[in-house]
Amino acid sequence: MSATPVKEAGRPATAQRAAEAPAKGPSRGSASANPPGHDRPYLASEKDLAPLGLHWVDEAERPARARELLDKMRHYRRTFQMYMDVCTHCGACAQQCHSYLGTQDPKNMPVARADLARRIYQRYFTWTGRHLPRLVGAEDLTEETIEAWYKYFYQCNECRRCAVFCPFGIDTAEITIAMREILAYLGLVPRFLTSVGSNVLRTGNNMGIPRPALLDTVQFLEEEMKEETGKDIPIPVDQEGAEVLYNPSSSDFFSNPDTLTGAAKMFYAAGISWTLSSEIIETANFGLFFSEPLLRAHSQRLIRSARRLRVQRIVAGECGHGWRTWRMFSETIHGQLEFPITHCAEEACELLRQRRIRVDPEANPQRVTYHDPCNLARAGDIIEQPREVLRQITLDFREMIPNREKSFCCGGGSGLLMDEMMEVRMQLGKAKADSVRATGAEILCAPCAICKAQLPLVMEHHHVPVQVKGLLDLLGRAIIL
């Protein structure tokens, strides 16, 4: 059988797809809905949007609709309105954003990014902007505005580093979150995010792993651990009455199995009964990146599962932003809960303090450095716990600079893991690569699934010879069983 592509036989399929696409912007005019994809993500189609209850808005109606949504947003999120009002354009944030440092695109300075929304906000919702728009640089909302929103709010990792340096504490990540929500209601969402979102609604996890596959993988990992340690270390699933519901990352079942077996070994060694829930094997909550309803739905699923399994606490796995949603938003969404939600780094740290687990640092003789996932260090109070653990399970731990709340993002944060953004992603990771290179580390510990997907590519691209591992991966090696 012979095969010919529809157009221009002989050219690689990807080049054709790019060639079919319009030159710029989120316009859905002609043959293909998608831009070339070098500097912005591929757009979801109407079909991709449907499971999330989102729809395309006609191009002609978009500016008016965007204005309405902006008006709603400023009332709904008071911080958003405050951030719109108080910026003095002092510029203190400019050099602190790895997105600007890596891309050298001035629109990626936090203040410039926020101004893409602020100028419109001023134009329609402030007295000076309405009457003297030029005085404050206020601008009309047009299709170009929306194109710029789509591009630049998807070159922000929502890392919150800018907020650490802004004298007013303006958190541009919050502005990005609000603006992506507005874009979503205009039907403008990266296809990568809708594909994850619909997997989450269907299966409770990002990868879309169904229960039989979960059980098969768990059995495989139990056998692996038996081979490695000679012990029967269980990975229980749906076990009612267990003490702990452990909520991992679904990537643990695909590319990061040592994180999951590290957790299994920790609970086994400490004598803690635990379980996974086949309803939710995902700490990540991509709703934070574009859809508050999705965020709430995933959160409800977690709490429902914990109640059904009658556990005493939930332990979150290695994920940064998901942890932020569990720790910071759970009680806002559900009211006071009858059980605590803790993080696996807190759990490991506490078990070491109580001497309920013992470790041998000789198991990790390499030089190790620690990457603070943004949402752990700047949005989730997990800073010292992983360090306390690392100092006990490794022989040569070095801090990178900057670190803790000043750490740079990996460049994949807020779900910027789509392939078509690879070039931009590598630019976004440059600041981190420089920090890691200076430590001379052989192992880069990064307890977040997004970081673990992004950092190996970034390190290879920027020629930093380092292996990326989770915290529980290293604990699993060091733990004495």
Partner 1 sequence: MPTIQFGDVQVEVDEDGFVQDPKQWTEDLARYLAKQEEGLDNLTEDHWKVIHYLRDYYQQFGIAPMIRKLCKDTGFDLKYIYELFPSGPAKGACKLAGLPKPTGCV
Q: How far is the CB of 165 from ligand SF4 (least distance, A)?
A: 6
Interaction of residue 14 with partner 1, rule CB under 8 A: yes
Number of residues forming the site for ligand SF4 (CB under 6 A)? 25
CB of residue 87 vs ligand SF4: minimum separation in angstroms?
A: 3
Say whether residue 312 binds partner 1 (CB under 8 A): no
Task: Kindly tell me which residue out of 170, 189, 284, 436 binds ligand SF4, with binding defined by CB under 6 A.
Answer: 170
> Least Å distance between CB 191 and ligand SF4?
21
Segment 163-169 long-range contacts (CB within 8 Å, at least 24 positions apart): 163/378, 164/96, 164/378, 164/405, 164/406, 165/92, 165/93, 165/96, 166/92, 166/93, 166/110, 167/90, 167/92, 168/86, 168/87, 168/88
Q: Which stretch binds ligand SF4 (CB under 6 A): 71-79, 154-162, 209-217, 356-364?
A: 154-162
For residue 17, state whether it binds partner 1 (rule: CB under 8 A): yes
Which of 150, 253, 274, 370 forms a contact with partner 1 (CB under 8 A)?
Answer: 253
Q: Which is nearer to partner 1, 128 or 255 (CB)?
A: 255
Q: Which stretch binds ligand SF4 (CB under 6 A): 91-99, 263-271, 356-364, 376-384?
A: 91-99
Site stretch for partner 1 (CB under 8 A), options 127-135, 157-165, 210-218, 473-481: 210-218
Nearer to ligand SF4 among residue 153 and residue 253 (C-beta)? 153
CB of 29 to partner 1, least distance (A): 16
Pull the structure tokens for residue 227. 């081979």
Strands 313-316 and 341-343, sheet pairing: parallel
Q: Tell whether residue 319 is a contact of partner 1 (CB under 8 A).
A: yes
Residues in the chain: 481
Q: Is 60 in the site for partner 1 (CB under 8 A)?
A: no
Beta strand segments in 273-421, E: 274-275, 313-316, 341-343, 367-370, 396-398
Stretch that binds ligand SF4, among 167-175, 270-278, 326-334, 438-446 (CB under 6 A): 167-175
**122 is in the binding site of which of partner 1, ligand SF4, none (Cβ under 5 to 8 A by kind)?**
none
Q: Are 292 and 303 in contact (CB under 8 A)?
A: no
Q: Where are the alpha helices (DSSP H) in 361-401?
A: 374-377, 384-393
- Rank residues 81 and 467 by Cβ distance to ligand SF4 and give the closer one: 81
d(Cα 361, Cα 479) in Å, to the nearest integer? 9
Quick check: 89 binds ligand SF4 (CB under 6 A)? yes
DSSP 16-28: HHHHHS-SSTT--
Q: Does 23 bind partner 1 (CB under 8 A)?
A: no
Q: Is 38 exposed, middle or buried (0-12, 13-18, 19+ CB in 10 A)?
A: exposed
Please pick, from the candidates 97, 120, 433, 453, the single residue that binds ligand SF4 as defined by CB under 6 A. 97
Contact call for residue 196 and partner 1 (CB under 8 A): yes
Q: Which residues of 378-397 are buried (b: 16+ CB within 10 A; e: fewer)?
A: bbbebbebbbebbebbbeeb
Sheet hosting strand 367-370, strand order edge to edge: 396-398, 367-370, 443-445, 467-469
Kindly state the smallest distance separating residue 100's Cβ from ligand SF4, in Å. Answer: 7
Contact 450, 319 (CB under 8 A): yes
**Residues 6 or more apart in contact with residue 393 via CB below 8 angstroms:** 359, 361, 363, 364, 474, 475, 477, 478
User: Smallest Cα–Cα separation from 458: which of 418, 410, 414, 396?
Assistant: 410
By CB under 6 A, name the one of 93, 101, 183, 441 that touches ligand SF4: 93
Can you tell me the distance from the alpha carbon of 222 to that of 215, in angstroms, rounded to the nearest whole number?
Answer: 11
The residue whose two tokens read 């965020």 is 295
Which H or E element spans position 294?
helix 292-309
Which tokens sit at 74?
Answer: 């400023």
Q: Hey, is 480 helix, strand or coil?
A: coil
Q: Count interface residues toward partner 1 (CB under 8 A).
A: 51
Give the one residue of 209, 464, 474, 475 binding partner 1; rule: CB under 8 A. 209
Interface with ligand SF4, residue 285, by CB under 6 A:
no
Q: How far is the CB of 379 from ligand SF4 (least distance, A)?
A: 11
Q: Is 264 in the site for partner 1 (CB under 8 A)?
A: no
Rule CB under 8 A: say whether 433 interacts with partner 1: no
Rounded CA Rg of the chain: 23
For 168-183, b/e burial (b = at least 16 CB within 10 A) is eebbbbbbbbbbbbbb
Beta carbon of residue 84, minimum distance to ligand SF4 (angstroms, whole number): 11
Among 331, 360, 419, 460, interactor with partner 1 by CB under 8 A:
419
List residues bridging with 252 in a β-sheet: none
Out of 103, 145, 157, 435, the only residue in the binding site for ligand SF4 (CB under 6 A) is 157
Tell me which stretch binds partner 1 (CB under 8 A): 11-19, 58-66, 120-128, 353-361: 11-19
Query: Nearest to residue 436, comparing CAs of 368, 387, 348, 346?
Result: 368
> Under the rule (CB under 6 A), what is the footprint of ligand SF4?
87-93, 97, 99, 110-111, 113, 156-162, 166, 168, 170, 172-173, 176
> Under the rule (CB under 8 A), what is the footprint of partner 1?
1-6, 12-14, 16-17, 20, 32, 34, 37, 42, 45, 191-192, 195-196, 199, 205-210, 212-213, 216-217, 220-221, 224, 249-251, 253-255, 257, 284, 319, 417, 419-420, 449-450, 452-453
